[in-house]
Amino acid sequence: MMRSSDMENRIRFSVLMSVYHKDTAENVEKSINSLLSQTLLPDQIVIVIDGEIPQELSSLIDRFAKAHEIIDVCPLAKCGGLGAALCKGISQCRYDWVARMDSDDISLPDRFEKQIEYLAENRDIDVLGGQIAEYDENMEHFLCTREVPSDHSDIVKKIKYRNPMNHVTVMYKKDMVIRSGSYRECPFFEDYYLWCRMIKQGCRFGNLDSVLVNVRTGEDMYRRRGGKAYNAAIIEFQKKAREAGVINGFEYYRNLMIRLLVSSMPNSVRGHFYLKRLRSKTGE
């Protein structure tokens, strides 16, 4: 735990979350409660409402906002997608550091304390993430961990073929995100595209070795990682990564071949591939 003197001088930060019509009130409630139960509370929580949402979810968010003054709600007239919602949300964040949080995941109680302590001792870092534990849709059965490299040099190497950051775990400097162009339209890969541009801007990245967030995955996630729309998104993102100078021509075609092969697998086979080949079972 932080000493009282450290608390007074600590880094202040906002949390950025986006909700939309497919989110359930039950999952969102658990997600927000995991933020309000932290050993180190955020100074602001920005909840972007991306278009119309069910009345039950709207009422839940209103109750949270009335009960907790650190919660600010940012409603958008229509659903514009995650990239647009987060871009708008960043503009509403009051502090230099912003932590990302998804609306159906659970932050471990000491997540922010660990990250803020690390950032206070490593002032050169612009983006700091960590590991995630993946569970089924009901958060009842542990499936695997998604491990990402901790050192900046290893992150730069990995970004050429896989996303080296777990988006839901990151904290980043608001001004560096904006300087790099913020979130842009890039379905399924909004965060990955942002990391590419930030690395080209000279930003320094890091990941803690600790699991910071429990994430819902399961069949629905594997289903979204296939189909014509996802294939089109893969091609578009790889073009953007090549244009950004993160990958070369060889890496572009290699990535397309591998990713399109995986996305073309039957859903059950693709799920098995994710669990056995793209994840670590450490901690099961």
SS (H, E, C) the chain: CCCHHHHHHCCCEEEEEEECCCCCHHHHHHHHHHHHCCCCCCCEEEEEEECCCCHHHHHHHHHHHHHCCCEEEEEECCCCCHHHHHHHHHHHCCCCEEEECCCCCEECCCHHHHHHHHHHHCCCCCEEEEEEEEECCCCCCEEEEECCCCCHHHHHHHCCCCCCCCHHHCEEEHHHHHHCCCCCCCCCCHHHHHHHHHHHCCCCEEEEEEEEEEEECCHHHHHHCCCHHHHHHHHHHHHHHHHCCCCCHHHHHHHHHHHHHHHCCCHHHHHHHHHHHCCECCCC
The count of domains in the chain is: 1
171, part of any domain: yes
Q: Is the pTM above the cut of 0.75? A: yes
Indicate whether 279 pLDDT > 80.
no
Indicate whether 282 pLDDT > 70.
no
282, part of any domain: no
pLDDT tens-place string over residues 132-186: 999 998 999 998 899 999 999 999 999 999 999 999 999 999 999 999 999 999 9
Indicate whether 16 pLDDT > 60.
yes
68, part of any domain: yes
Q: How far apart, in whole angstroms, are the C-alpha atoms of residue 24 and residue 53?
A: 10
Q: What is the CATH number of the domain that holds 45?
A: 3.90.550.10
Indicate whether 262 pLDDT > 90.
no
Q: In terms of residue numbers, what domain contains 153?
A: 4-277
66, part of any domain: yes
283, part of any domain: no
Q: How far apart, in whole angstroms, are the C-alpha atoms of residue 208 and residue 111?
A: 10
Indicate whether 112 pLDDT > 50.
yes
259, part of any domain: yes
